[in-house]
Structure 1
Amino acid sequence: MVSTQYKSRGIDQALADLEVCYHAANPKSRGCRDLARRVLPGGNTRAVLHYDPFPLFIDNASGSHVRDVDGHDYIDFTNDMTAGFYGHSNPIIFAAIRKALDNGISFGGPHSHEVALAETLCGRFSSIERVRFCNSGTEANLVTMSLARALTGRPLILAFKGGYHGSLMSYTNINAGLNIDINNMRFADFNDADDARRALVTDKDRIAAIIVEPMMGSGGGILAERSFLFALRELADEFGALLIFDEVVTARFSPGGLQDVFKVRPDLTSLGKSLGGGLTFGAFGGRADLIDRMDPSSQNALMHSGTFNNNVLTMIAGYTGLTKVATAEVLMEVNDRGDCLRSKLLEISTSRGVAFTVTGYGSVLSLHFQAKAPVDPSSVTTTAAQRKLSHRDMLLRGFCVPRRGTINLSLATSDEECEAFVHAFAGFLDDHHHQLPAIL
């Protein structure tokens, strides 16, 4: 638990004090990191889970909790960066996977389980008439962008600064070393239809598609304005480009994702994360005339394959989750829980005079220590030190949260756990409001 008071100390000293507490509390995690470095660069194989001085090593997880190798129990508000939407080992999904294991885990041929999941997705998303599976949201976005180029004969894709479409398409830093095909990308400002038009006019008939997150995830949990998405639909039609919605994160917000909330119909949609029921999953779908170009029985078919595309365990887990767990009523309930938490966090920050806002939608909340909610990544003014301060403090208070300041509720998260988070966050503000921006 955090007990030191930091009233007269600057943020650097407060961080140093918390780091001492963190080291003392987590010697086994530190040791695991040191051993892991012998075979993994930095002791890690997923950069988003890294943070200094070292990340917690998780030993087991159940429901809404995770336990680390030092024996500390945490209420999990990370939930595998939204992939763990159902909670850890949801009993209904878990039972379906156990039953599936008895029938084999690698069929090497078409099977009824992929058909069942495909029918379910086509039934839930109004824009998806055909669907194909892959293995991650990253892969889904790579294929949709390549498909758009193949169908239109155009080389360029218009994306948005600060967007994230997977490990090879991270536009929070457009010049990141591993970003693929960057010379064939064009960029505009998020939530700025005029800037999107400028980019389209500049390249005229060379833009194959516009790809957009209806809510930016790693860019700051910034929700697209409805008018912006409508404008993108009109611009795509005007310039003969395809409109791609990356709903890898946002599909969880309603049975048909944010596109059905906003009533904007894209040509193609990429999916991933939670829709696999907690297992490795990716999918993309859209208009039948577009996706049917991948029909392998047709002449001049566009080749798309992948060994684990129809992984039977994922197909069963995904189908079970969507049909037996994530009903429309359940999705509404967890969104309401997120909205309630958002309101209470704003209330306690205001009462303590801290400049603070919460972006996101429903069950995904992004915390910012600034008075005005950002409308695009360039308007995020919360500093890395402020994020580090709240992250370290909340870990020491027993909440597993990401460094980036996002809260991802799961279906296992209870009202009581949200109340506990509010109480803990109030304690953080009481201890550290002197190191955070004040309401002016």
Structure 2
Amino acid sequence: MSGTATAVTKSTQQTHQDKSDRAGSDAQNHALEQAHERYRNRNPLSLAQHQKAAKVMPGGNTRTVLFSDPFPITLVCSQGCQVTSIDGDTYIDYLGEFTAGLYGHSDPVIRQAVVDALDSGWVRGGHIPQEETLASLICSRFPSVEMVRFTNSGTEANLYAISTACAVTGRSKVMVFEGGYHGGVLMFGATPSPIVAPYEFVRAPYNDWEGTEALLRANADDLACVLIEPMQGSAGCIVAEPAFLQAIRDWTTANDVVLIFDEVMTSRLSGGGLQQLHGITPDMTTLGKYIGGGFSFGAFGGRQDLMQIYDPLQPGYVAHAGTFNNNVFTMSAGAAGLSQVYTQEAATALNQRGDVLRTRLNRIAQNAPFPMQFTGIGSLMNVHMTSEPVRSIRDLTHSNAVLRDLFYFELLEQNIWPTRRGMLNLSLPMGDTEFDALARAVQRFVDQYGRLFEGELNARK
């Protein structure tokens, strides 16, 4: 499987244009206004639903990432790899529930597992066989996970992993990386969040070993753990270079610091996650998203000596609570999915198809008169409107945000359901029909807005 896509080569003039027009020219802004108007005209029922929701929820939503200016589209049903809006439009689902929708919306194996769980009764308040089944599957697939405990989200999983490392080491500092996202209260983007969990964080530069090593050395005595995504998802599918990950692994091993891989998104990129693909084993791993089969899920696991603090039979054990940690729906759907649907072979096949698709899209992007590229690995990818190599969020400073928004609205008009930030995620029900539709939509975007861009260049000569 190939790694991150090579940056698209552009001329000096185009690179300069990328930098000067990152906020959008007058013509691009006008095109965006027109796209907004078409969007409003196409989705009147979604607007009405949003206005109703705004009366009882701030901004009309309870999940910020799903909000989209001027208002979000409301979805009413889904099937296979498609979603349908309240306005009656059906889209190919490339948002994929931000990687959690790996199985699509109606996998028969998952459905049967849920029906069986429904028939057996729920909220039991006791141990159930399915939790051991799912735990065994996870431990057998991810090299670093000798023992595992469940939570209800990736956010919880990362909070517990950090707290575990602090409890075991007796230290307080946590190294994270610029652009990192580890959950709703663990966000480290370009704009600081006022609701970040109150740990003592050290922010390091992603894919910059020299800068990271200096911070590691400066904080070595107080550092409990290093928390890193082997590919930053929220930042835009920015791939960590294997040599960078290996250098961190070597340093943390030598200095008795816990290394945590956040594979909440990336665990799907091979049968055993990116840790298996790269052959780099962390001390702990956090999981979430698709592993619950479409239900709320999170997990943290790792070396037995680290996880053993949660054993109630051990003196001085640490309690770990959560009413729905072992709920019958998640445990049943998750176990069915990993054992029967997303097997090691299925993971390899899907991610190989993703690499082929990303290469195809980059060929289209390379012929665009404006800067554009797709980064990622396997079944996860992200468009960026810049010609610079993307190794960290610092490289997105000159990305053209207006072009990215135009890309979003153009794909919607072509009945593709993407994320607003340009992330595209594959699901198992997708095939050549869906891939061809995406490629056509991207080509149409290049053709339509390429003429606009070329006209601006000619006007400036």
Q: TM-score, normalised by structure 2?
A: 0.91
SS in 2 for 1:10: helix
Distance 1:141 1:434 in 2: 46
Residue identity opposite 1:74 in structure 2: Y
Q: Which residue of 231, 236, 244 maps to 1:220? A: 236
- Contact 1:33 1:43 (C-alpha < 8 Å) held by counterparts: yes
Q: Which residue of 351, 360, 369 maps to 2:367? A: 351
Query: In the alignment, what sits opposite 1:49?
Result: 66
Asked if 1:360 is matched to 2:368, the reply is: no
- Contact 1:358 1:373 (C-alpha < 8 Å) held by counterparts: no
SS in 2 for 1:313: helix
Distance 1:83 1:171 in 2: 21
Query: In the alignment, what sits opposite 1:187?
Result: 203
SS in 1 for 2:181: coil
Query: In the alignment, what sits opposite 2:194?
Result: 177
Distance 2:211 2:253 in 1: 17
SS in 2 for 1:61: strand
Distance 2:424 2:453 in 1: 19
More relative contact order, 1 or 2 (CA 8 Å, 6+ apart): 2
Q: Which residue of 401, 421, 432 maps to 2:418? A: 401
Query: In the alignment, what sits opposite 2:447?
Result: 430
Distance 1:173 1:44 in 2: 23
Query: In the alignment, what sits opposite 2:9?
Result: none
Distance 2:453 2:334 in 1: 42
Distance 2:190 2:395 in 1: 15
Cα deviation code 1:61-92 (max 9, x no counterpart): 01010000000010110011111011012111
- Contact 2:271 2:348 (C-alpha < 8 Å) held by counterparts: no
SS in 2 for 1:158: strand
Query: In the alignment, what sits opposite 1:327?
Result: 343
SS in 2 for 1:102: helix
Query: In the alignment, what sits opposite 2:14?
Result: none
- Contact 2:265 2:289 (C-alpha < 8 Å) held by counterparts: yes
Asked if 1:125 is matched to 2:155, the reply is: no
Distance 2:368 2:403 in 1: 16
Query: In the alignment, what sits opposite 2:97?
Result: 80
Between 65-74 and 200-209, the greater mean CA deviation after superposition: 200-209
Shift of 1:173: 4.1
Query: In the alignment, what sits opposite 2:86?
Result: 69
Shift of 1:436: 5.5
Distance 1:80 1:65 in 2: 12
Evaluate the alpha carbon distance shift between residue 216 and residue 342 of structure 1 in structure 2; reply closer, same or farther with a 3 A threshold.
same
Query: In the alignment, what sits opposite 2:356?
Result: 340
Cα deviation code 1:273-296 (max 9, x no counterpart): 011001000001000011011101
Query: In the alignment, what sits opposite 1:5?
Result: none
Cα deviation code 1:9-43 (max 9, x no counterpart): 71111001111111100000000000000111000
Query: In the alignment, what sits opposite 1:103?
Result: 120
Evaluate the alpha carbon distance shift between residue 146 and residue 32 of structure 1 in structure 2; reply closer, same or farther with a 3 A threshold.
same
Distance 1:435 1:330 in 2: 42
Shift of 1:175: 2.5
Residue identity opposite 2:415 in structure 1: G
Shift of 1:330: 1.3
Q: Which residue of 35, 52, 75 maps to 1:58? A: 75
Distance 2:366 2:374 in 1: 12
Asked if 1:114 is matched to 2:131, the reply is: yes
Residue identity opposite 1:60 in structure 2: C
Query: In the alignment, what sits opposite 1:3?
Result: none
Residue identity opposite 1:32 in structure 2: Q
Query: In the alignment, what sits opposite 2:394?
Result: 378
Identity of aligned residues (%): 40
Asked if 1:153 is matched to 2:184, the reply is: no
Residue identity opposite 2:152 in structure 1: N
Distance 2:442 2:26 in 1: 19
SS in 1 for 2:287: strand
Distance 1:363 1:373 in 2: 20
Distance 2:392 2:209 in 1: 12
Evaluate the alpha carbon distance shift between residue 49 and residue 436 of structure 1 in structure 2; reply closer, same or farther with a 3 A threshold.
farther
Distance 2:120 2:218 in 1: 55
- Contact 1:338 1:409 (C-alpha < 8 Å) held by counterparts: yes
Moved over 6 A (4+): none
Gaps of 5+ in 2: 1-24
SS in 1 for 2:390: coil
Between 364-373 and 417-426, the greater mean CA deviation after superposition: 364-373
Shift of 1:174: 6.0
Shift of 1:372: 2.6
Between 373-382 and 111-120, the greater mean CA deviation after superposition: 373-382
- Contact 2:309 2:318 (C-alpha < 8 Å) held by counterparts: yes
Gaps of 5+ in 1: 1-7
Q: Which residue of 255, 271, 274 maps to 2:271? A: 255
Distance 2:163 2:26 in 1: 52
Distance 1:173 1:167 in 2: 15
Distance 1:168 1:154 in 2: 21
Cα deviation code 1:318-355 (max 9, x no counterpart): 00000000012211221122112111111122233332
Between 337-346 and 227-236, the greater mean CA deviation after superposition: 337-346
SS in 1 for 2:120: coil
Asked if 1:206 is matched to 2:222, the reply is: yes
Residue identity opposite 2:167 in structure 1: A
SS in 1 for 2:180: coil
Query: In the alignment, what sits opposite 2:292?
Result: 276
| Number of aligned residue pairs | 431
Evaluate the alpha carbon distance shift between residue 128 and residue 57 of structure 1 in structure 2; reply closer, same or farther with a 3 A threshold.
same
Cα deviation code 1:157-188 (max 9, x no counterpart): 00001100000001014621111115x00011
Shift of 1:244: 0.2
- Contact 1:67 1:74 (C-alpha < 8 Å) held by counterparts: yes
Residue identity opposite 1:392 in structure 2: F
Between 427-436 and 117-126, the greater mean CA deviation after superposition: 427-436
